[in-house]
Structure 1
């Protein structure tokens, strides 16, 4: 299934993509794409519905974040060997974890704010993993049973805040609008191999990133298992799994960063595309 949330900021309602490709409204039947509805029984209850019997949404609706009420936004750094190389770092012996504030989450086509005082706002297309059944101390063999589905994540980053200021990466990762997710949550049954997905990103029509999830250092099963050794993964948690090469920080001979008035497009095969305008905060 392809599930989504639509409507104004703060008042999003659930929706589903019908077999004919039309967008249908689920709000008369479900409260949200969040919480218990992301558990296996909840997703099965949605599968039992007939999408073609649901109201068709008019064109031009806003795609909100594809998952609501996200408990944690967990990110993995340097998870593509060629991306690590372009940033001048070595491949880590185990996953590098950091958090984004959940305030960063926004819709797939919402504007990206360039923070006040920013000089190095950067782009990163990533595969997002949405947790269904909570996971604590799970093995790699068990890990995939805890995945509800997948989505496109844009891990927007302010490199000066992230790398040149004191403290952890989180303050370079958590500005409002720095975490567009969606347009859809694609359930795990429709993604037979999350390690075989093409992903790409363009700025003003120039393609900077082009990769495939098969080159991830640590795959989805390894990441879910690893993270569950340190914290319980809760229903609705999002894991952003890292980015392929081509970020602004890695451009040669001169680094390239976002500025207000640009258009960013990005996507993953089968998971949809995002389109954002950059604006000054």
Structure 2
């Protein structure tokens, strides 16, 4: 590898550019982690990227207790754990039906679904709140789950539809001839080969749901129903000058999403590539 880089100047430039961009992306995380382990005095006295001389792991305990993150963490975990697999299941069923079942309305339905991915959700916040409030679902888990599903499913259907269209029809046709139902065909034939795509979509959906702020701010007005981003906003407003605990709260908020990505990262590139180019 090193020999190839030395022989090819273009490859060398690409590697240097890649390393430079990687450092730019990693630098904020290094700053946040280092600052979360420093006292307020050390934060002011030391440089931004200087490792803590006397680590203060107690910042995490203080931030957790003072910010009341136990309730907001539970709310975010519950909503994400329910929304992500449910959204993927509905998206897989819809994408399979549009790609494998013959109907003259398939293209129209697909265009309507894709149109849903083109609407910025910020434009829909006011009518969305009116609709949720009309059903009496403000400050409820269902009131937040339903909009999350509505805005997440169209993108997933679009990706999975391309994947299903790329799978040879002979596989599903042979199973149907043998007497298998469409649900059995989806579960036993398509599901094993679509796991990388589902894993990639799960990562994207988990991160998007875990970090979502605007819809949660509009719908969850009761403090006991706040998700982690809302709890972090409140903590930042109260303890904006305590940089150690503030950055510890940031680490607490983003750590679950980072762990999920690290666990499933090997499926990420291959899964998105499969869903994007097939069909």
Higher relative contact order, chain-length normalized (CA < 8 Å, sep 6+): 2
The structure with the largest helix share of the pair is 2
The structure with the largest strand share of the pair is 1
Larger-gyration structure (1/2): 2
Please give the TM-score of this superposition, normalised by the length of structure 2.
0.23
